[in-house]
Structure 1
């Protein structure tokens, strides 16, 4: 197939296809903005001086202090993960109509490889459009936000640009990765001239994602003992090792939580099928058992945001425990703890943005699922099943895997933070005290007989469980699921019309 024909076939489609391309491009633009922001933070040049010399041209301490820039960039990259999950869910919008269009290409003589190529080009072009739009927005914002305050300090690092190589890899690499993921997702799909057949497994998912969660937790927990061991050996760990453990462990744990939702869905379906007595629960049970991976696709962005939020709650609990250590040791609580607690407010704002993005992805996934199964729903309504029963079955189908998956995501995020930070400690504080009057103690020669050393024992405060924050995250996630299900049910009436039985 010629490149020109491949491009025309990839751009063909209905209004639903245009909506899918637009949403995919929007998600790619948001991910590009987050990535470029992280690269910009990393591009800040260190001023002359020692390792603690700050960049005084910035108003925010997150940008001034060299030791905080890596964590800031890492947080920005984590914020891009829910956006990428949203892009994956948007790519499934209107999948049945696209599948019929691909089947028509097979009927016209295209090979399965050519059909996969059309899907890859469609996704890649949509993502490229989004990354270019994100780059344009970044450059425009870079100029508009370059406004120093009255002290001449910049609120954002608008005096530097990311490296050309890094920006090019981000803008051009995301479309390539999106196209390859599309091919990977189609590996179990056989496109025939008569439609699309998915090669599903007859057995349910195995609980192997639990091992991924354990590996991610172990990667975070080994960082502190590793640093202590290197310190005792009068050395430093390799520069690449801590970032690999942090990024790799976080991603592995997140993949374990998201993919583990498939096993949770199948198990919840089996339990409902065994113990439920109402038609709505039984319909949901059969759907959960037939397609257990739907939960992983639907809740991917939401679970990623919850892991990030629970980890932030764990960091806040650590800083609060650090303040308590300073109070008990009669030490002056440094303003550094106040700064960290203030920074956590910004992190909580980022978590709220991530949850909002995840809610949008949840709406897209739920609406796509209802529209994709409209023929089955129309057949049930024609057979006499009330629409209220179908609505309750969709609610069961959403909540049954969501509740345990949310609990696991929050627990994993909190354990990641706890394993990385541990419990703050004051150490042993020794003070020299002179048991004489001020005149004698002022002279070292006369004060020597009256001097004694007083040691304060080490004080360790275990961070508390941030129950309130975790409850807000869990409640917000459940409210979002319920609200999105309510909005998604608006598609149910139009999708259960008798005319939908003629849909092929």
Structure 2
């Protein structure tokens, strides 16, 4: 198949395919903006020391997050955090209109296309849409870079508009995201065979989920729990640890905890379906029970970005409690030494406020992905829903079953993500060290930030509930009698 023909077929389709391409491109553009912003922060040059204290701050910026070199890594990490739910949203958008696309690919197989050509076509479709989005994101980034380059009265910049990432970094971001998206599509299709009669999946989907998260989550939490004692042991014995070991320990532990939490959503879906099937008496809960047990891994796919945002929110709440306890301890220490005018430094508390804002944005973006997945599921099963309505099942029952299906695994998964995030943040921050009047060291353990955790958890559940309410607006249009004739 010639490249030109392959490109035309990748861009062909119905209005649903056009919507999928637009949403995928929009998601790729948002991810590009987040990635380029993080690269710009990392590209800020560190000036040489200007005094005997070795201070190497970039004084041309008004924000301390950009002035201090030690804070730029955390700022870039927070920006990359916003890219995770955006990429998950792109994955959900790529599934929009999947049944119609499967029929189109089957028609190509019937016309003589090979399975490899069909797989390359599906991968190219996602790659082209992502490339369109990354190019748009690059143009918007460069335009905003010029428009926001406005120094204040002191000549300082609020944003790093005086620097740009290297051309290699720009090209890697713009071209790397579409390449990763296309490769991920081809990888996900490795167990899918497109035949002239439809799409056949070789994966076994009738096996119930195993509770593998019971191994991954404690392993990740244990890695964080050992970080503080290991660091103190190295300091006590004056041993210089090889540079990458501790970051690798934290990164591996965080990924293990995150993957375990996401896998837990699939197990929670299956367990909730079994429980509803055993205890429920209403038709809505029974319908939801069958759907949850039939495809429990839909929860892991759908709630992955939301659970990641909630886990980071729990970690941010733990760090807020740590910085609040440290602020209170420093204030009490200053008062004990007779300094009644000290008000303490609220810089770190203000910085955690920015992290909380990033978590809120991530939850909002993840809710958009949930909405796309919910609407796609309703449209994909419209013939079954229309048949139930034609047989006398009220639409309200179907709406309540969709709500049960979304909320039943959400609540325990969110509670687990909050708990894991709190433990990771608590072990990483450690206790607060203070000095008494006689010079002795005293360690204070921060309290549990119940209010902050409740705010993050309730916000996540409310986002899911709002998503369900909006998605149900498509239920009436998808349950008309005419849908029984849909192919």
The answer for unaligned runs of 5 or more in structure 1 is: 431-454
Distance in 2 between residues matched to 1:190 and 1:96, nearest whole Å:
14
Which residue does 1:379 correspond to in 2? 387
| Residue 285 (structure 1) aligned with residue 289 (structure 2) | yes
Which residue does 1:248 correspond to in 2? 252
| Residue 91 (structure 1) aligned with residue 99 (structure 2) | no
Distance in 1 between residues matched to 2:54 and 2:7, nearest whole Å:
52
Corresponding residue to 1:315 among 283, 298, 319: 319
Which residue does 2:266 correspond to in 1? 262
CA shift, 1:216, in A, is: 2.4
1:325/1:460 contact within 8 Å kept: no
The answer for unaligned runs of 5 or more in structure 2 is: none
2:331/2:342 contact within 8 Å kept: no
**Structure 1 vs Structure 2 CA RMSD:** 1.8
1:212–1:400 CA distance, 2 compared to 1 (3 A): same
2:272/2:408 contact within 8 Å kept: yes
Which residue does 1:12 correspond to in 2? 12
Which residue does 2:232 correspond to in 1? 228
Distance in 1 between residues matched to 2:343 and 2:131, nearest whole Å:
45
CA shift, 1:163, in A, is: 2.2
Which residue does 1:137 correspond to in 2? 140
Distance in 2 between residues matched to 1:334 and 1:11, nearest whole Å:
64
1:127–1:219 CA distance, 2 compared to 1 (3 A): farther
CA shift, 1:12, in A, is: 0.6
Distance in 1 between residues matched to 2:256 and 2:344, nearest whole Å:
32
Distance in 1 between residues matched to 2:250 and 2:167, nearest whole Å:
26
Corresponding residue to 1:399 among 401, 407, 431: 407
Distance in 2 between residues matched to 1:326 and 1:142, nearest whole Å:
40
1:335–1:293 CA distance, 2 compared to 1 (3 A): farther
The aligned runs of 1:10-409 (5 Å cut-off) are 10-49=10-49, 52-199=55-202, 200-329=204-333, 330=336, 337-409=345-417
The aligned runs of 1:453-472 (5 Å cut-off) are 455-472=438-455
Q: Report the number of matched residues.
A: 479
CA shift, 1:211, in A, is: 2.2
CA shift, 1:335, in A, is: 7.1
SS at match of 2:60: coil
1:175–1:477 CA distance, 2 compared to 1 (3 A): same
TM-score, length of structure 2 as denominator length: 0.94
Distance in 1 between residues matched to 2:368 and 2:269, nearest whole Å:
21
Distance in 1 between residues matched to 2:292 and 2:342, nearest whole Å:
53
Distance in 2 between residues matched to 1:279 and 1:33, nearest whole Å:
46
Distance in 2 between residues matched to 1:243 and 1:82, nearest whole Å:
23
Distance in 2 between residues matched to 1:244 and 1:79, nearest whole Å:
22
